[in-house]
Amino acid sequence: MKSVSSVSCAILVLVLMAPLRAENGLQRLSVEVPFDFMVKQVMFPSGKYLITFGDGQTIYLRARHGRESISISAERILTESHSRSAHLVFAEQNGHFHLRELWMNSTMGREVAGPPLVAVRTIRAARVEVPANCTTCQ
């Protein structure tokens, strides 16, 4: 019985410390989002956020002031030329902004999976870019 409890405690500690380990990662973005937005099914208020890129596809999004945080999986995007440096891309759908892309520099980004965008004739869909500061990106 003690071994099951010990294993459960160890797993809980690892899960809770994952965002802290990501703090030591190489790439971080800081951004001030001027509107409320969604990541998957979670709503985040407007404000300042820190984004840390962990191992593999994991990204940690954490509010600078407040308790809002989430870890998400995002696929790499590589392109030969992109018009801007570090920024976040949101898709507006039915009055809600959904985080869709995170760009570290002009050629490397990550795509966040989200609800599929419905045909433009049934909703108002728009692409909104918010500049970010990336002091650790290469």
Inform me whether the pLDDT recorded for 99 exceeds 60.
yes
On whether residue 11 sits in a domain, the answer given is yes
pLDDT digits (tens, 9 = 90+) for 16-37: 444 444 344 458 999 999 999 9
On whether residue 36 sits in a domain, the answer given is yes
Residues 61 and 49 sit within 8 Å (Cβ to Cβ): yes
Residues 54 and 21 sit within 8 Å (Cβ to Cβ): yes
Phi, psi of 8 (to 5 degrees): -60, -45
pLDDT digits (tens, 9 = 90+) for 30-71: 999 999 999 988 899 999 999 998 878 899 999 988 788 899
Number of domains forming the structure of the chain: 1
DSSP-derived letter for residue 14 is H
The backbone region for 9, taken as left when phi is positive above 0, alpha when psi lies in -120 to 50, beta otherwise, is alpha
Average pLDDT, the chain: 75
Q: What range does the domain containing 101 cover? A: 2-133
3-class SS of residue 6:
helix
Inform me whether the pLDDT recorded for 4 exceeds 70.
no
Q: What percentage of the chain's residues is helix, strand, coil (to nearest 5)?
A: 15, 45, 40
On whether residue 43 sits in a domain, the answer given is yes
Q: How big is the CA angle at 70 (ends 26 and 59), to the nearest 5 degrees?
A: 30
How high is the pLDDT of residue 68? 82
Distance between CA atoms of 3 and 13, rounded to whole angstroms? Answer: 15
Q: Which residues pair with 115 in a beta bridge?
A: none
Give me 20's structure tokens.
Answer: 């802290």
On whether residue 97 sits in a domain, the answer given is yes
pTM for the whole structure: 0.70
Inform me whether the pLDDT recorded for 92 exceeds 80.
yes
On whether residue 138 sits in a domain, the answer given is no
Inform me whether the pLDDT recorded for 90 exceeds 90.
yes
